[in-house]
Structure 1
């Protein structure tokens, strides 16, 4: 049974969907999304340190009791053209808290001013910066939502292809993995999705891809060879127009031998986790991701101890 808050937010988003101007100037859209982000406050107990890692500006986010030796590296969504630490600080802080680790939230360069491959370069620089600061790869969890989920997957692929050490696991919230826009859910979920529309994905894909082929695996990880990647948790809403981006990625990952967990949440929309703690379903999703991470860490620690013996 869905909460009252769920029904409230669903109505609000449907009203916004009917009036939102996806063709508005990008500066106007960025200002609006940052203004709306003020509705969800970051936890009062959160400690925020503005800094740079690997030359990429961002924020260290620490909840009380965080394990300083382990790091959540999260890439925010926003179609590669919007959002920032301001819009994602609360969700990432709560996710890090559920995982029991500290988080680094980088502000990678955005399109259309900085299209592909600029965000990929920044993502890799941030990850390598963590290694340079002495964080072990097995103590890094890479995560992302929407476009940031796709960017997290691309980062894993790039690291593997370069023979670099991979993080321990990945968490992807509603990842955007197919900028060629071939998923059937763009049509089959068009009426069910209370927020996203196909036109939004077309505009954002054009901003990011430029003249590049959207099927480039470093743009759309759905088309990549996924062998050798670490365990992946995918959370996606049943009502999203980009649902197929998650289901197809999970299927391809399994075929490649990757340990992947696909959680499709009934009645949910794109990155509903951002509404924690105001919507119980959002909080439960973040808590579930935290349990996944903590369980994986215990399992990995056990394997390490066995190997050491």
Structure 2
């Protein structure tokens, strides 16, 4: 049966474009059905009850729209209309802008620095925004990053990497590496303790953080890494191009927010070949990396109905099997980006508490 989807851009938050793409009635091609008395459950029944009212309202908004897939025209429309300008910032800590020299002749990379203070060395985070490798920008999360900086007394650098499909792999991760290297090289000026630099990313930003950590492990100076990463914090990371293409997911995973249609488009844009292809550029898909040894301690958090939940669990298992200290949090009923669209809910609070606890352990600091 022909597949079709209805979609609407709901909002852009935390660098994540939240889309609703709902399968038309009767679509069964990729469904792994769970039935009660022969009737397949509505996907919303797998979502935490506290999220259901807002998701039901969103679904009603899209039911009147006609079928359409994710394509370049839709991407252009989202980029044109999806953003709402820079967020209102807190008075403290201060946010400054800088241009980092690109690697090997690449364009300069804009970065936003939160909490720069050239006094005593403090922990630092390189933050990489989400958006499916094709959307988002480094400014969207700045107010939230200010709060994290203040809470953990940390310097945070948010990187404005180039987006696909205009800049395919390795451009976005090279931009991120340029920012990471700049942080280490300018640690005294920025007030950074180079022994406590973490990388953190959400969704596609989490995928880039994982790629970056692999790249940093493999790039050496005199038999040691150019930059030591103390931990990678991966928030529902986008790690496997095969999800939703050659790997079929249960129908309720990805039913809300980012789904398999968007996932194939995002990965194909980054890779320059169709998602799920037999061959992809080396280093571009963390889930396909054969050797995960020597990576820093890792924290992964994902919702149980997120499209990425299986790939994230699998990556955590492989890290553990490679001797990498790894913490995995799977939040029941959480969909992709739930803590952004529902920030004051019980599950969102559990999520934020887990991330804060991971950062405290990594940086070895008390509450500020």
TM exceeds 0.5?
yes
Cα contact 1:17–1:196 (8 A) shared by 2: no
- Find the counterpart in structure 2 of residue 193 from structure 1: 255
Matching of residue 58 in structure 1 with residue 58 in structure 2: no
1:260-303 deviation digits (Å, cap 9, x = unpaired): 1000011111133334744453344223211211123229xxxx
Unaligned runs of 5+ in 2: 1-47, 102-107
Cα contact 2:126–2:157 (8 A) shared by 1: yes
- Find the counterpart in structure 1 of residue 39 from structure 2: none
Q: Distance in 2 between matches of 1:53 and 1:284?
A: 36
Corresponding residue to 2:295 among 204, 220, 229: 229
* Local SS of the residue matching 2:82: helix
CA 1:292–1:189 in structure 2 vs 1: closer, same or farther (change >3 Å)?
farther
Cα contact 1:171–1:234 (8 A) shared by 2: yes
| TM-score of the superposed pair, with normalisation by structure 2 | 0.70
Q: Distance in 2 between matches of 1:114 and 1:239?
A: 30
Q: Distance in 2 between matches of 1:253 and 1:140?
A: 20
- Find the counterpart in structure 2 of residue 218 from structure 1: 283
Corresponding residue to 1:32 among 72, 75, 81: 81
Larger Rg: 2
Question: 5 Å matches for 1:137-156?
Answer: 137-156=194-213
Cα contact 1:171–1:233 (8 A) shared by 2: yes
Q: Distance in 2 between matches of 1:194 and 1:141?
A: 30
Matching of residue 291 in structure 1 with residue 364 in structure 2: no
| TM-score of the superposed pair, with normalisation by structure 1 | 0.83
The alpha carbon displacement at 1:217 in A equals 5.0
Corresponding residue to 1:171 among 202, 211, 233: 233
Matching of residue 207 in structure 1 with residue 269 in structure 2: yes
Cα contact 2:195–2:230 (8 A) shared by 1: yes
Matching of residue 90 in structure 1 with residue 90 in structure 2: no
CA 1:201–1:88 in structure 2 vs 1: closer, same or farther (change >3 Å)?
same
Please identify which structure carries the higher strand content.
Answer: 2
* Local SS of the residue matching 1:137: strand
The alpha carbon displacement at 1:10 in A equals 2.9
Q: Distance in 2 between matches of 1:68 and 1:13?
A: 46
The alpha carbon displacement at 1:242 in A equals 1.4
Corresponding residue to 2:158 among 91, 101, 105: 105
Q: Distance in 1 between matches of 2:247 and 2:56?
A: 21
Cα contact 1:115–1:210 (8 A) shared by 2: yes
The alpha carbon displacement at 1:200 in A equals 0.6
RMSD: 3.2
Unaligned runs of 5+ in 1: 300-309
Aligned residue pair count: 295
- Find the counterpart in structure 1 of residue 308 from structure 2: 242
Q: Distance in 2 between matches of 1:186 and 1:48?
A: 43
Please identify which structure carries the higher helix content.
Answer: 1
The alpha carbon displacement at 1:138 in A equals 1.8
